[in-house]
Structure 1
């Protein structure tokens, strides 16, 4: 995950909650993608502080450094070496066809995109294959990146020998998580509910949320199927209360504020628990840094073993 700031509800439900579950049964590696962050912004003044804040969110959400390896990408330089070697066997056309590369060029109106932007999916492949995983947990939008990684492994293995397994996609079911303005929750839209938000802050964000635009008056019936608030009900509210809200909305039996209050009743307890755990870690940033450095040492041992085999297969040095 890139250290772009605090983790919001969309990040948590889209990735982090699943990471927490996976650590119970698998040997997991999760890292701060600080090199990847440079493809968005070359101003690094906030990267280190953002990394600490982000990992505080991870720990608050339930990631356990005793059960998962949490590390910083740039503290494992073997990732860069493997990326370089992969760049020698990977056709440029493979990278140019990655959907997110084309989207970023169009969205940011880039006339001269950097090699880092073109090559970041290949660095991502190095990030993955370094640890020879069986599965990569991703949402459907990231599946093309894992397919590219499989192709990269296949080509490299064909050239230098069977070094890397081809990892399988472990699809994560990602619920629709709207922001407070009804659009996709995103830092760039300034519409997020953050894991670090207090109960008061969450209430202030949820109560003014947009709802069914056709429901202008309390007496107007609404349609929960097109209401962003109801998307959050699907995540937090038990079936009985959720169906009661849906019926009340369609019949104008309840108002939008009543519906939001039901949501907050079920939404606040789990988010408050995360925030309180998070706060305990955030008060000790030096301890978070030590967790990351210890995790980076553990990750590097694995990476060094991988690269020892890669160097032997590539046979560059006498």
Structure 2
């Protein structure tokens, strides 16, 4: 089946290993198979904070991360929310297709609200899943590589597409989610790996920074290293991380470490992660900030052409 792939990230900080194994590796593989749009979701930065922060620097850093992992701007359209007004205009008709109760039940929104820096939930946060539906459907996206925590957003998009087609006629495909090899890699503190929680290894981290982060990771007091996700989640998470970087089963890594304890485990994980990140660091050094800005400018132009066509189809279907 010929798919159109839509995926992306909020420019709130550097991408990390959880992003890579959750979605980024899929993007690199899929860019040679299907047309792909990658969104820099700058408008969504203000869903859970009052100010966007160092937005321009974060956008440039995000673009360099994309180029470093191997996304090819000749194959992939990389664009940003604020440059595509026709995409954002889709939010209005889409909001008429969902109920307030349906928005309130979204578990990803509930989690984001719980970790928000705002004292009250704003309307943009509440409508976040419908905005993501506009992101996916403006380009007629049919395949969405996501981590497990983003699955509810894809379900909302499927709901919006079906209801629009039923009410106004067949305009949108109903997209599918695509999960990565490790959809939910926990942070070094045992919680959800997140840019904002300081518990992740950034793809742009130096070898020394990576070593320091892993030295500070949580483990437990048992010397024998075993893989037991239920009873030893922190140790098992480090074994999982090493396994993903080395292409090995975490159980075999645990057997290799044996009675080496947490110190041996962390040494092995540090070596595995740094070896994995070495080619990514090398590619990142081959691009300048000017290169990144040009990639975004070219992508914005292509994405806006697509959005203009889709908005025209929507307006025609609705009778405007």
TM bucket, shorter chain: 0.7 to 0.9
Aligned twin of 1:153: 161
**Could you tell me which of 291, 311, 318 is aligned with 2:315?**
311
Q: Deviations over 1:131-151 (max 9, x none)?
A: 112222223322221121111
Q: Is the 8 A contact 1:237 1:263 kept in 2?
A: no
SS in 2 for 1:305: helix
Q: Write the mapping of 1:21-40 to structure 2, written as runs, cut at 5 A.
A: 21-40=29-48
Secondary structure at the aligned position of 1:174 is classed as coil
Q: Is the 8 A contact 1:32 1:71 kept in 2?
A: yes
2:238 equivalent to 1:229: yes
Over the aligned positions, Cα root-mean-square deviation in angstroms equals 2.2
> Structure 1 stretch 104-113 or stretch 155-164: which is displaced more?
104-113
Gaps of 5+ in 1: none
TM-score under structure 2 normalisation?
A: 0.87
Moved more, 259-268 or 38-47: 259-268
Taking structure 1 as reference, are residues 208 and 148 closer, same or farther at Cα in structure 2, changes over 3 Å only? closer
Rate the CA distance shift 1:311–1:270 in 2: closer, same or farther, 3 A.
Answer: same
Shift of 1:266: 2.9
Contact 2:171 2:313 in 1 (8 A): yes
Counterparts of 2:308 and 2:283 in 1: how far apart (Å)?
34
- 2: CA distance, partners of 1:223 / 1:200: 27
Which stretch shifts more, 13-22 or 137-146?
137-146
Q: Could you say which residue in structure 1 is the equivalent of 2:269?
A: 263
Structure 1 92/238 Cα, relative in aligned 2: closer, same or farther at 3 Å?
A: closer
Say whether the 8 Å CA contact 1:236–1:266 is kept in structure 2.
yes
Compare 78-87 and 101-110 and name the one that shifted more: 101-110
The within-5 A match list for 1:28-177 is: 28-108=36-116, 112-177=120-185
CA pair 176-75 structure 1, distance change in 2 beyond 3 A: closer
Classify the secondary structure of the residue corresponding to 2:301.
helix
Q: Is the 8 A contact 1:146 1:167 kept in 2?
A: yes
CA distance in 1, matches of 2:313, 2:111: 36
Distance 1:13 1:41 in 2: 27
In 2, the alpha carbon distance for the partners of 1:285 and 1:8 equals 19
8 A Cα contact 1:71 1:296, kept in partner: yes
Could you list the per-position Cα deviations for residues 138-195 of structure 1 after superposition, in whole angstroms to 9, with x for gaps in the alignment? Answer: 2332222112111111211222211111112223332553433333322333122111
Work out whether residues 226 and 255 of structure 2, in 8 Å CA contact, stay in contact via their aligned partners in 1. Answer: no
Instruction: Give the 3 Å change call, closer, same or farther, for CA 289–185 of structure 1 in structure 2.
Output: same
Partner of residue 4, structure 2: none
Find the structure with the greater CA-based Rg.
1
TM-score normalised to structure 1 length: 0.88
Q: Conserved in 2, the CA contact under 8 Å of 1:72 and 1:293?
A: no
Q: 1:286 deviation in Å?
A: 1.9
Between the aligned partners of 2:119 and 2:209, the Cα distance in structure 1 is 40
Note the residue ranges of structure 2 that are not aligned, 5 or more in a row: 1-8
